[in-house]
Structure 1
Amino acid sequence: MIPPEEVSISTEPPVTDTPITDEPTNACKTCDISKIAPTNPLPGTSFESEENIVTGCLTTTVTCKRDDGQICSSVAVQPAPPATSVNLLQKLYQMIPVLYQIRIENGCQVITVTCQRDDGLICSSIAVRASFKDQIGTVEVGSTTDSGSGFGLLECNSNGIITYNGADEITELFCEFVDCPPPSCTSCDLSTIASTVPPAGTSIIPQENTVNGCKEATITCQREDGQICTSVAVQATTAGGTSDIATDMSTGLATAQLTCTADGRTKITKFTVKFTNCAA
């Protein structure tokens, strides 16, 4: 008779060289920039990304660069230039409006996204809107009034998906530009032009008027102490430099007349005043 094989049953765990751990995966290391990177950069340009772990989470530096040796006055990571239509809901690259900033808060990524006008227009409202997974319609995730850009904050949550205020996964982003009128000769703002502090005993007095449907302004530089000068000049700084735009002789004041052009500009960036040989 052949004796039965001996069989032993043990309740001890198997011996293994692999460490046993119950530590969960840190999902803020799992975000994938390739899912939101542009797929069709312009000819002669490229989009690059470099990933690093910062404070336990993935941080990605993205770079837009020219590969043809050309030098640009500015290079930015941003959406295609928006159209000028009023109340336009403009669809951006999927999941990539302007990535102005990616930072780490509480160990996870926080992304600032921006919808921006590149044509200088000011809108009554600019909003960043988002579509969410399994939801119909869009939700505003950030907005700015009376500005040329609007901002929203998104998060990379513990499951490795981009969300807003802990809501469901964001699948697409949009920009909404509301009431962005083109500039005209009525839109110049004299208050945006800088001026130097006038000397003691003098003043600069601006005054705006509407003439033939367009804005005009007078800038008066005058003495407040009764002194008379051999000359008083109102000076203006433009892209071409600083020059006198009005001069009066043997008096205590000078007045310059400004006109707002059709593009909504005065072309002047700064006012100064010059009093020469003044005496009571």
Structure 2
Amino acid sequence: MDLSIIIVNWNTKALLHDCLRSLYSDIQHHSFEVIVVDNHSSDGSPDMVREDFPQVVLVANEDNRGFAAANNQALRRAKGDHLLLLNPDTKVIDGAIDRMLAFSQAHPTAGIITCKLFNGDGSLQKSVNTFYGFWKSFVENRFVIGLLQRFHMQKRFFMSYWDHQQTIEIDWAHGAVMLFSREVFDKVGLLDEQFYIYAEEMDYFLRVSKAGFQSWFVADAHIIHYGQSSSRQRRSAMFIQNYKSFYLFLKKHYGLASYRLYRTRAIFYMLLWYLNFSFVRSEEAGVQRKIYWETLRWHFTKDSAIA
């Protein structure tokens, strides 16, 4: 079998249906299996998969095991020569997966392959970035980014300013679409389950790089990514989890100094954004103010400590 496609789902029934339908209509030149791991959805997702896509291998968890752990459940049983981690809020178009597989087969040293993402309205979704480190932790705030843009230095730190028009070697990309070979998986292993959700893709890209492989962005493969559909259901909790996972990533790969620097910077700028939204009278500003306040409070709890 050429490919195992792995999708982790939590309460995105309609989007998952469209994603699966696009897979079976778009992939033309390779044999594949689809494994859906459902993290205890309450919206009827497992029943929809059973009824509408009986060919899918469904793993229905009795609790939410997190993104990394759920992917690992499927990776352990996958049979394909290539493995694709795909978000449920995606729609495959224009032979994207066939193109990515062709690229992988032509580049045997390729690590993770990703593609060009588009928002639901057809606009480009910038997804590529550079690895984090001490200096990037220092400059990553909107004020400093503005100065970097003024002096044309932003691309050195943030690939998100790149136009995403060329096929190039990259550091990492957001984890909506991650294709890699069985050889890469056998050498690098499973996702790190310390990351409940978020930052697991950065961790895996970096581990793949350290193992001697090069990751690639393939510009002529296109996928629509609607973006963060399950995360929006619990905005404050997911905002906090994002910081928790990123702090874990920094400490794991770059050490205590980078972690402490970024954490201090994050608290300072979070306070500024909380104050900023305090002067704006709108429903969304109120939501943002609540998110920043709850995240600030979390930073001073025992739960925020990274062991």
TM normalised by structure 1 equals 0.24
Relative contact order, CA 8 A, sep 6+: which one is greater? 2
- More helix per residue: 2
Q: Whose Rg is larger?
A: 1
TM normalised by structure 2 equals 0.23
